Structure 1
């Protein structure tokens, strides 16, 4: 097998998650690739789960692996910039800690692909019985058809996510993640915009990781609300990169914002209760997101 990239840093930002299985599956693949020089670095972003942190410490005993613990949670942007600074090699492969790898040629496919930034995408765990009535699972599964590499290539900068991508280190050092994004959401969208503004092409390929670790419905709603607060705070940076901003701009143009706000105010508690219950519906989730955003955002 001919590989184009000979030196690789594999970087995993982690929070309250055991990465043992993921790191082992990566190490099994890279150890079989001739002439590849590699390192695997896991950075814990101020985890509060001592059990998971203790488990991950064992990674330091493995060949070419390093586990680093940060005492304070610095956020999704800063932890990735931190990992890029720590990395020794010219190519960086970022993988989210709650993903798993199923394809035996996952690493080699990246090493043979062209481009300065390459995004492999993700798939949702294909086991509905395991995640029955889980809102995050239902939502991700429904959206999966829009995540294929052919669909992503239609909007390459808007459809970029941090869960699974390869990038030249010098680009990451020159164009780091925007560290104003300390809370959940949209740091990857702004990074995609920064790449576009700097004329750096994203190559979308079919090399997915598997998303199989889903929070419960209530925590997903809380995380969604946090992401919508981020969207509101950085709405000027995200114009043209957010479907929700496009929708609210349309509603504002036709003077419909107050109507949606009123409907949301009346139905908010009832919809939220149904979403965290045993039979969540994606239609109500979409309306909840729209209503929540309109309720917190200051329109001009």
Structure 2
């Protein structure tokens, strides 16, 4: 049965012509009408000038926002303006793996209202040392086959390659209260699970082509930890996160402060390693644990301030 598709790509400071050209070559592989929707989130003028001509291409719509609204809001705006019944959400820093990308999605969409394709990255280690942390993280933590992703909690949903019925996405959307980077996808995955909406995992990964330098990746990861703790206290999202479970266990047994103090003394060493040519993901885990413990302390202090005086 024919079905229509809107491919949604939020754009920020990246030329997306290679991705758009790949997609346009394979639009006939989807059995029905397809549009490619690009929405620029207040990128640099030179990037906008490079991407703007894409809007003149058949089946492509390009628009720009006057100010940056962030990851959640821009995806919601793209979904609101989409004209078709299926939404394919892609990050702007990915490329297609092969010529069968849309075909595999078209063949699978009857199985579920939400299909996750996955992500991978180049097989060779980057020559630039500061890109290696992000490469190792993608290779070892994100580039998982569908069989392994099916075992993960629903909150560990990655929206960089996600096919979802428009009517389902519009029931929830991304939480625009999360103005910092990260975990808006976790809340969507949790909401889908709470509503009993099944998620099908498919081996159809996009190739991550935009590795962040280690300092930028660490900055984003720090912001994501803030959102993780915020969502946990607000909605209970993230309770199945190994990172958060470890931090909460330390808090329950009275070890939050001594462990945080130890990690505070180690953080410069951890940071230096992660920005080096030989980063170790176990050090990244320790640094994130320190950040979570910091956030739990901040939340506790805020609660004490709100308590009325005896």
C-alpha separation in 1, matches of 2:244 and 2:262? 19
How much has 1:270 moved relative to structure 2?
Answer: 2.7
Residues 231-277 of structure 1: per-residue CA shift (max 9 Å, x gap): 22222232424221111122122222112111122122232233223
What is the aligned partner in structure 2 of residue 172 from structure 1? 169
Within 5 Å, give how 1:266-281 maps onto structure 2. 266-281=265-280
How much has 1:284 moved relative to structure 2?
Answer: 1.4
What is the aligned partner in structure 2 of residue 124 from structure 1? 121
What is the aligned partner in structure 2 of residue 296 from structure 1? 295
C-alpha separation in 1, matches of 2:31 and 2:195? 33
Calculate the aligned-residue CA RMSD, in Å: 1.8
C-alpha separation in 1, matches of 2:279 and 2:31? 50
C-alpha separation in 2, matches of 1:149 and 1:156? 13
What is the aligned partner in structure 1 of residue 41 from structure 2? 45
Establish whether residue 246 from structure 1 lines up as the match of residue 242 from structure 2: no
Report SS of the residue matched to 2:39. Answer: strand
Change (3 A) 1:161 1:259: same
Check conservation: 1:5, 1:91, Cα contact below 8 A. no
1:193 to 168, 190, 195: 190
Check conservation: 2:155, 2:238, Cα contact below 8 A. no
How much has 1:34 moved relative to structure 2?
Answer: 7.3
C-alpha separation in 2, matches of 1:215 and 1:155? 25
Report SS of the residue matched to 2:26. Answer: helix
C-alpha separation in 1, matches of 2:268 and 2:167? 48
Higher mean displacement: 290-299 or 35-44: 290-299
How many residues align? The count is 294
Check conservation: 1:124, 1:144, Cα contact below 8 A. no
C-alpha separation in 2, matches of 1:167 and 1:34? 15
What is the aligned partner in structure 1 of residue 216 from structure 2? 219
What is the aligned partner in structure 2 of residue 135 from structure 1? 133
2:80 to 78, 85, 103: 85
TM-score by length of 2: 0.89
Report SS of the residue matched to 1:93. Answer: strand
C-alpha separation in 2, matches of 1:143 and 1:35? 33
C-alpha separation in 2, matches of 1:159 and 1:151? 12
Report SS of the residue matched to 1:195. Answer: helix
2:100 to 105, 127, 133: 105
C-alpha separation in 2, matches of 1:185 and 1:5? 35
- Unmatched segments (≥5 aa) in structure 2: 301-310
C-alpha separation in 1, matches of 2:127 and 2:19? 20
What is the aligned partner in structure 2 of residue 154 from structure 1? 151
C-alpha separation in 1, matches of 2:29 and 2:137? 37
Change (3 A) 1:201 1:156: farther
How much has 1:214 moved relative to structure 2?
Answer: 0.6
What is the aligned partner in structure 2 of residue 8 from structure 1? 5
